[in-house]
Amino acid sequence: MSGKEGIPGIPVQLPKMGCGEKPSEEIIQLGRFMKHQKNWRNDTKLAVKVFPDTGRGLISRRAIEKDSEIIDLPFDALISLKSISDDGEFMQLLEEVSGEMKWKVQTLLTLYLLWNWHVGDKSPWKDYLRSLPTTLTHPHFCSVDELVAIPVISERIIDSVNQSEVREVQKYFEHTLCPCCGGKFFPDIFPKRKFIEFYLICNSRTVYVPPDTVRMMLRGTRVLGMISNDPNMALAPFLDLFNHSGDTKTMCSLARKGTTYFYTLKTSSSFRRGEQIFINYGPHCNMKLLIEYGFFLPGNYNEFIEVSLKDIEDLVKNLRRSQKNLHIPSNKFRYIRDHNLHEKMFLDADGFSHNLSIVLHFLLIDGNIYENHYHPVVFGQLPDEQSLREYKKHLINLLLERYRDSLVNLQHVERLTESGMIVRDFLKCRIAFMSDCLNKY
Ligand SMILES: [Zn+2]
């Protein structure tokens, strides 16, 4: 989870281990590192365990009560903008390269991970880096054939890593030689694939930290002048082993206790001794989970299907084939955009969102053609359900068809990658969800 929304993120990939197997040596070492070098007390007696359905996760050796702390990490155990600022060698490199450039905090964290990965045994964070999954499954790593097959998601996949940012970073680091080995950063030391992997790790594993507190800690440092957005994200070693569930609520805080700042998570749920503890990364639909974290949840009750204005335009095109007299003044589309009605258009298990119903009614049923008549139509009473029913079915069918096409195309690709298999199951899951919606309406 990116720092955008407030709750922590997690495993991009389940490790290849059977149920009941012990956590890997790397994870055990990470626990030791957190205790002995980062002064983590582990008051809640957390331990790593491997589960058949989620892979590795965390339990407590004692019962966790409702509304109590599940983890309390010293802030210096997190990889944040402060860690970057405190690392003299990396800061020197960054200053040489940056000039007037201002970086996004996620890009800086990505570069910092790359740097630590490069220096290997000399990295103060080597134990954390070793604990990360060695290969990522994420739709971003689908093969070209797979990506071509699945237009319903490939556009979103490309958006998940900002390509112009990758180029920007390459440009700045291209002619810089590494102070430790004299190698060229791009493409030799920081290969593009590795950059994207670490970028996605930041996407999925960072937690939200209150940016004002971080700014306050960093008052007067050079690094504050080198960022272009809020320092609201940090990587949280060990904490990022919690898996996600929509059944619980998680609250985070960053507060001073004595002389040290602590990053704390509290849970709204109770957990028995030895039971897997889950946290909630946020009420995400499966598309968002897939794109940000590389997994999705069958039966996700936060599931909804986003509808864009382009989808509505396609629906209108389809309808015109059978309704030759369907005429929609073009200023209605402009009116929709001007009044942001195209935002928050979606359908979920309960039906169509308010804006989606309004837009369908406004375009397909309402006969007004003068702009000064639009306001009461759009901001007045909700349209009659019955009159929209057929159009709603049309729209769901249109979306269903796209998902089915993508699924069929994907099934024709020879030998799916692991990422491709996750996407295939995601498509099946969404098709089942929309089919259910169609039956219900
Ligand atoms: Zn080097």
Mean pLDDT of 365-389: 84
pLDDT in tens, 90-108: 999 999 998 889 999 999 9
Cα 359-315-383 angle, rounded to 5 deg: 30
pLDDT at 115 over 90: yes
Give residue 114 CA to ligand 1 midpoint distance, Å. 11
| Residue 21: per-residue pLDDT | 64
The pLDDT tens digits of the residues spanning 21-80 come to: 678 899 999 999 999 999 999 999 999 999 988 888 999 999 999 999 999 999 999 999
**pTM: predicted TM-score of the whole model, two decimal places:** 0.84
Average pLDDT, the chain: 90
Task: Please name every residue paired with 60 in a beta bridge, in sequence order, or none if there are none.
Answer: 46
DSSP state of 26: H
Q: Are 164 and 147 in contact (CB under 8 A)?
A: no
* Cα–ligand 1 centroid distance for 81 (angstroms): 22
Q: How far is the CA of 86 from the centre of ligand 1 (A)?
A: 19
The Å distance, Cα 107 to ligand 1 centre, comes to 19
In the prediction, which pLDDT does 376 show? 86
Q: What is the mean pLDDT of residues 308-313?
A: 94
Of the listed ranges 196-205, 329-338, 370-379, the least confidently predicted one is 370-379
CA of 115 to the centre of ligand 1 (A): 8
* Separation CA 413–CA 286 (nearest Å): 23
**Least-confidence region, from 78-82, 298-302, 406-410, 416-420:** 298-302
E strands, 143-292, are: 206-208, 233-235, 243-244, 250-257, 260-267, 276-279
Task: Name the strand (E) or helix (H) holding 400.
Answer: helix 385-411
Query: Between the CA of residue 55 and those of 18, 41, 51, 119, 198, what are the distances in Å?
Result: 8, 25, 5, 29, 21
Spacing, Cα 96 to ligand 1 middle (Å): 15
Determine the distance separating the centroid of ligand 1 and the alpha carbon of 440, expressed in angstroms.
60
- Distance (angstroms) between ligand 1 centre and the Cα of 236 equals 26
Q: What distance in Å separates the CA atoms of residue 115 and residue 110, rounded to the nearest whole number?
A: 9
Residue 199 Cα to ligand 1 midpoint, Å, equals: 20
Helical segments of 305-344, H only: 309-322, 330-338
Q: From the CA of 78, how far away is ligand 1's center (Å)?
A: 24
